[in-house]
Amino acid sequence: MFANSITMCNFVNDTVNQKPHGADKANKHVMKNILIIGATGQIGSELTMNLRSIYGNGHVVAGYIKGAEPKGELLESGPAEICDITDAQNIADVVRKYKVDTIYNLAALLSVVAEGKPLLAWHIGIGGLWNVLEVARENKCAVFTPSSIGSFGPGTPAYKTPQDTIQRPKTIYGISKVTGELLSDYYYNKYGVDTRSVRFPGLISNVTPPGGGTTDYAVDIYYSAVRGEKFICPIAQGTYMDMMYMPDALNACVQLMEADPTRLVHRNSFNIASMSFEPNQIFEAIREELPGFQMEYQVDPLKQAIASSWPDCLDDMCARNEWDWNPQYDLHSMTVDMLEKLSARL
Ligand code: AKB
């Protein structure tokens, strides 16, 4: 399967030192027609609607795979196409049909699921990325591919993790994220493909729940609180991780792709941060709004091992300096909004 998806790509035999073709090196990239691969996932479902509200419904194509078809507003508000990241020809066809200039590559298995299916995680994360980058090179598209706090490992400085530092993750998720960062930089340096990326923390949203991540507890806890249930926490007290509310994450996706390329010293991938907390702190933040809420710890060994290998909090000064990253939500304001939106919906 992996070999197939690679041989479908049409590689160019360039030398290592060839200069980028440069289309995006000096000029500001303008997003006109956008393809989102993985449009029905946790980030994709909200990013698609967000981009449609900015660039116009007809200019944002929701790419999905069989079994994860868009529904409701996502389906009705704009174009949708099957777009399987493991099939380079399929991606190229959609890109040409809609004259796509920007691809958001959001197809991935999250950290816990990836540990159970390492080959599939690599096949989607790296084989798929390679397909996207080749199609982007041939069609002069810009590409956004998220990395993660999972790209760091136990040897990384855990507190205020610098932008450029040790990246020796222990999970296949992290290994594919680091490889993805390097491959994206390679395509920028060698071919001038306008690749950009952020290292997402755990993302918290009241719309589409995540599936199979280490940070999912910080979403699940709100659902338990609103349903009046006791929350069973799989992550140990004292385990700090960076987290972010989805509206800030969506802004990061748009802001970075619109950033002036002449200001970007880094590309793949930027540390971004807005809040860092451990389970007891989010529990207390919820209890301020819902005093009867209860939580008990039943630590999941796999999730805990992954969480313990990740940083406590990232230093995001490069993102702030190079493209004016400036998140709006902290733990309190996110908690108030999450509880209000979930209560209204559930
Ligand atoms: C996960 O937990 O796998 C993701 C991530 C931090 O990349 N949410």
Mean pLDDT of 234-250: 98
Residues 6+ apart with CB under 8 A from 62: 36, 39, 40, 44, 48, 70, 74, 75, 78, 79, 80, 81
Per-residue pLDDT band at 312 (split at 50, 70, 90): very high
CA–CA dist 19, 174 (Å, integer): 30
Which tokens go with 80? 């949708």
- Asked whether the beta carbons of 204 and 243 are under 8 A apart, the reply is yes
Give residue ranges with CB within 6 A of ligand 1: 110-111, 148-150, 173, 200-202, 213-215
Mean pLDDT of 324-337: 98
- Which pLDDT score, from 0 to 100, does residue 7 have? 29
C-alpha triplet 85, 90, 92: angle, nearest 5°:
100
Query: Distance from the CA of 16 to the center of ligand 1, in angstroms?
Result: 33
DSSP string spanning 6-23?
A: HHTS------TTPPP--T
Active-site residue, 173 included: yes
What ligand 1 atom has the least distance to the C-alpha of 241? 6
Residues 6+ apart with CB under 8 A from 93: none
Query: Distance from the CA of 235 to the center of ligand 1, in angstroms?
Result: 13
What ligand 1 atom has the least distance to the C-alpha of 212? 3
Tens digit of pLDDT for each residue in 201-222? 999 999 988 789 999 999 999 9
Query: Distance from the CA of 309 to the center of ligand 1, in angstroms?
Result: 12
Mean pLDDT of 256-280: 97
Instruction: Kindly report the length of the chain.
Output: 346
Tens digit of pLDDT for each residue in 153-183? 999 999 999 999 999 999 999 999 999 999 9
- Which pLDDT score, from 0 to 100, does residue 1 have? 29
**% pLDDT > 70, the chain:** 92
**β-pair partners for 81:** 63
3-state secondary structure of 315: coil
Mean pLDDT of 285-310: 98
Instruction: Please give the torsion angle defined by the CA atoms of residues 66, 72, 77 and 78, in that order, rounded to the nearest 10 degrees.
Output: 0
**What residue segments make up the domains of the chain, in order of their start?**
5-30+108-345
- Which pLDDT score, from 0 to 100, does residue 324 have? 98
Higher pLDDT, 4 or 142: 142
What ligand 1 atom has the least distance to the C-alpha of 114? 3
Residue 3 has pLDDT above 90, yes or no: no
Residue 17 has pLDDT above 60, yes or no: no
Tens digit of pLDDT for each residue in 23-66? 444 456 678 999 999 999 999 999 999 999 999 999 999 999 99
- Which pLDDT score, from 0 to 100, does residue 211 have? 85
Residue with tokens 């919906």: 345
The CATH architecture to which 5-30+108-345 belongs is 3-Layer(aba) Sandwich (3.40)
With CA atoms as reference, report the closest residue to 208 among 249, 176, 252.
Answer: 249
Active-site residue, selected from the candidate residues 64, 104, 173, 188: 173
- Which pLDDT score, from 0 to 100, does residue 31 have? 81
Tens digit of pLDDT for each residue in 75-130? 999 999 999 999 999 999 999 999 999 999 999 999 999 999 999 999 999 999 99
pTM for the model stands at: 0.91
